[in-house]
């Protein structure tokens, strides 16, 4: 519907880490809003593809290991081959390693920083370069949505590289918005609260930490990946054309407590 600012019909969205969890929840929400999807994952995204197609949209699958920048140019080329261009990029792929800061290894530091920050930047750069060929400041705009974290704002415990990377995501979101707004590209981020995914399985399984987390959340529950979908649709849509460099917390009230 042309008059619906949240309608994504005719748009193509690339979502990294789309095989499960938050990435899957975002991909399905974007499809239900009308977008076709480029699903990027290290493992198969068949389940997500089925959900996108059930919503009446098309999906292209790209298998890529985003632990390094090596696949970046190929991923963008494949996406453009499939759908002519990428209108929306959601940088969701990420990993986490847990260990006391006194014992944290350089290997775990580099692995997390490479996926969560370095590849996020260079994939954004590659997608933005093709966006500048058609995006316009006061017309059709490109959209980049980064997935930040509560640890963009807080320190956390036992996740030094994850905290550093997600703090960096917040800074890069603002930097890219500053540089690319005038080129017709919106860059914003979503900071999920405690969402029940594979990445948080260890916390959910820890009876004490699980109780402490739920007690602090005003909603009184862990979030579901689908809870992030509406925020992604908003930031990817015309409704957010004047939103730049913002980090939108979707956290059940965690930061308000």
- Alpha-carbon distance of 181 to 193, in angstroms, equals 27
Please say if the pLDDT value at position 219 is more than 60: yes
Nearest in space to 85 (alpha carbons), one of 32, 135, 41: 135
pLDDT at 200: 87
Report residue 203's pLDDT band, with 50, 70 and 90 as the boundaries.
confident
Q: What is the pTM assigned to this prediction?
A: 0.96
* Active-site annotation holds for 162: yes
pLDDT digits (tens, 9 = 90+) for 109-133: 999 999 999 999 999 999 999 999 9
Percentage with pLDDT > 70 across the chain: 99
pLDDT digits (tens, 9 = 90+) for 142-155: 999 999 999 999 99
pLDDT digits (tens, 9 = 90+) for 83-118: 999 999 999 999 999 999 999 999 999 999 999 999
For 73-119, give the DSSP string. HHHHHHHHHHHS---EEEE---------GGG--HHHHHHHHIIIIIH
Q: What is the mean pLDDT of residues 191-195?
A: 97
Report residue 2's pLDDT band, with 50, 70 and 90 as the boundaries.
low
Element (H, E) at 255: none
Please say if the pLDDT value at position 1 is more than 70: no
The β-bridge partners of 142 are 185
Please say if the pLDDT value at position 82 is more than 80: yes
The β-bridge partners of 16 are 40
Report residue 198's pLDDT band, with 50, 70 and 90 as the boundaries.
confident
Please say if the pLDDT value at position 168 is more than 80: yes
Question: CB of 172 within 8 A of CB of 117?
Answer: yes
Question: CB of 257 within 8 A of CB of 216?
Answer: yes
Residue whose tokens read 């399985």: 201
Q: What is the mean pLDDT of residues 134-147?
A: 90
- Alpha-carbon distance of 76 to 224, in angstroms, equals 29
pLDDT at 85: 96
Q: How many residues does the chain have?
A: 257
Outline where the chain has alpha helix (H): 21-32, 46-54, 72-83, 106-113, 119-131, 160-180, 201-205, 207-216, 226-236
CATH for 12-250? 3.40.50.720
pLDDT at 218: 98
- Alpha-carbon distance of 82 to 106, in angstroms, equals 38
pLDDT digits (tens, 9 = 90+) for 4-59: 999 999 999 999 999 999 999 999 999 999 999 999 999 999 999 999 999 999 99
Say which residues have a Cβ less than 8 Å from residue 215's Cβ, sequence separation at least 6.
none
pLDDT at 199: 77
Q: What is the mean pLDDT of residues 238-257?
A: 97
């Amino acid at each position: 519907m042309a008059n619906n600012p949240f309608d994504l019909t005719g748009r193509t969205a690339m979502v990294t880490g789309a095989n499960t969890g938050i990435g899957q929840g975002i991909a399905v929400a974007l499809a239900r809003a009308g977008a076709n999807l480029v699903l990027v994952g290290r493992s198969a995204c068949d389940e997500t593809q089925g959900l996108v197609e059930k919503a009446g949209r098309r999906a292209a699958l790209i298998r890529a290991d985003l632990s390094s920048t090596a696949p970046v140019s190929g991923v963008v080329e494949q996406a453009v081959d499939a759908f002519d261009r990428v209108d929306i990029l959601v940088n969701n792929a990420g990993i986490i390693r847990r260990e006391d800061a006194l014992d944290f290894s350089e290997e775990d530091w580099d692995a997390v920083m490479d996926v969560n920050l370095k590849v996020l930047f260079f994939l954004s750069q590659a997608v933005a370069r093709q966006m500048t060929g058609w995006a316009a400041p006061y017309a059709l705009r490109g959209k980049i949505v980064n997935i930040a974290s509560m640890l963009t704002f807080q320190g956390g415990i036992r996740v030094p590289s994850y905290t550093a990377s997600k703090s960096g995501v917040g800074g890069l979101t603002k930097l890219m918005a500053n540089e690319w707004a005038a080129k017709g590209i919106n860059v914003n981020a979503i900071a999920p609260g405690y969402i029940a995914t594979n990445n948080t399985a260890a916390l959910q399984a820890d009876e004490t930490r699980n109780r402490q987390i739920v007690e602090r959340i005003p909603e009184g529950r862990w979030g579901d990946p689908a809870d992030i979908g509406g925020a992604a649709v908003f930031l990817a849509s015309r409704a957010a054309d004047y939103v730049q460099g913002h980090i939108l917390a979707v956290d059940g009230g965690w930061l308000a407590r």
